[in-house]
A = this chain, B = another copy of it.
Amino acid sequence: MMNYISMLKEHGLKATFQRMHILEVIGECGHKDIDEIYAEVIKIHPSLSLATIYKNIIIMGQSGVLSEVPVVGKKSKYEIVKADHIHLICTHCGSIEDKHTSIDSENLLDQLAASEHFNLDKKEINLYGTCGHCQNIKAS
């Protein structure tokens, strides 16, 4: 649980309860696309407009509150900005798991960027495959 009010204000955004609802859904469920966020949010706040979700996803993205996770063959997911991490993306059930491993590959990627005179802002590592749960289902 987090304080979304201060999170929004620190990024210069008004803390409307529409934004709060959006952040709560993303914060609890992890990685959600626009439609999933909308479906969740109208359970609590049925009058909230889909256009409001689009506008706020964009503005919270630009402000550094949310980050986009583009996924092969799917709509982009959105998550609260956090430290760099790796995604395990199951192509069967669509689940996305964060892996905050302090894997040493980070340094290697920093070195690679430096050697290419590339000014690195963000590292994105996504592993696609089959999660343990879906492997068991297939085996049965």
Contacts and interface: CB of A to CB of B under 8 A. Distances in A.
Interface of A: 67-68, 70-73, 76, 86, 88, 90-91, 97, 99, 101, 103-105, 108-109, 112-113, 116-132, 135
Given A122-B127, A124-B125, A128-B122, A117 B135 contact: yes
Given A105-B109, A123-B126, A124-B126, 7 more contacts: A101-B112, A113-B127, A113-B129, A119-B135, A121-B129, A123-B125, A124-B127
A133 to B, nearest CB: 9
Contacts of A112: 86, 99, 101, 103, 127
A86 to B, nearest CB: 7
A120 B124 contact: no
A36 to B, nearest CB: 17
A71 B126 CA distance: 12
A80 B70 CA distance: 19
A127 B132 contact: no
